[in-house]
Amino acid sequence: MRAPVRIRVLLAGLVPLLATLACSGVTGPHSNVQVVLSATNQATAAPAASDNEQNGSDALAQLDSANVTFASFLARNSSGQLVSLGLNLPMTIDVVALLKGGGLPLPAGTLPAGDYDQIVVVMTQVELALTNGGRVAVTPPGGGWTSVVPVTPFTVVDGQDMTIELNLHLGGAFRSVGSSFGFYPQFEGHHHDR
């Protein structure tokens, strides 16, 4: 009679673990993935500004901080499927503070073993603190802002940790018209094994 009780106790302990793995999408061979965010004042090819808009460094110069809420990080595999990196999100980060240099490592996530060629970043909220003391909430498009980041194709190997570096080009990320702001995030991505 004792053996069935032990089996039930063992199974009761395994059920939450299996449920967690199933929800994260990582049920087979996988690797730990560290995302490191950084920013530069460099501009990218964002949509053209209208005649009334200030763009690039003019809009950035008006900001004390820009708190961006990151909702998801996904990687596109060789089958074209988007796979969550399983990070503990949402997370709000002052992207203007990233201009001070270095990179901000996020809590590690995981990716199933396989080939990938793209990172997708979804942001759902932006709150700005202006140098004149004002505060502005930037209204997102439906579903938030999505930035597709092409990367050199990479392979996730079971048990081999990896770092993905995402550099936000703040030089063209913000536009202002009077007291209103728009957000046009563009990232550059790199990856390497740890």
Q: Distance between CA atoms of 188 and 151, rounded to whole angstroms?
A: 8
What pLDDT is attached to residue 57? 54
Is the pLDDT assigned to residue 2 strictly greater than 80?
no
Query: Checking phi first, is residue 143 left (phi over 0); if not, alpha (psi -120 to 50) or beta?
Result: left
CA atoms within 13 A on the CB side of 102: 5
What pLDDT is attached to residue 160? 92
Domain residue spans of the chain: 28-193
What pLDDT is attached to residue 191? 83
What pLDDT is attached to residue 138? 94
What pLDDT is attached to residue 36? 96
Is the pLDDT assigned to residue 4 strictly greater than 60?
no
Is the pLDDT assigned to residue 22 strictly greater than 50?
no
Q: Mean pLDDT score of the chain, rounded to an integer?
A: 82
What pLDDT is attached to residue 12? 36
Instruction: Extract the runs of DSSP E, i.e. beta strands, from 95-144.
Output: 104-105, 109-112, 114-130, 135-138
The proportion of the chain whose per-residue pLDDT surpasses 70, expressed as a percent, equals 78
How distant, in Å, are the alpha carbons of 95, 124, 134, 157, 193 from that of 160? 29, 31, 46, 5, 7
Place of tokens 């909430």: 137
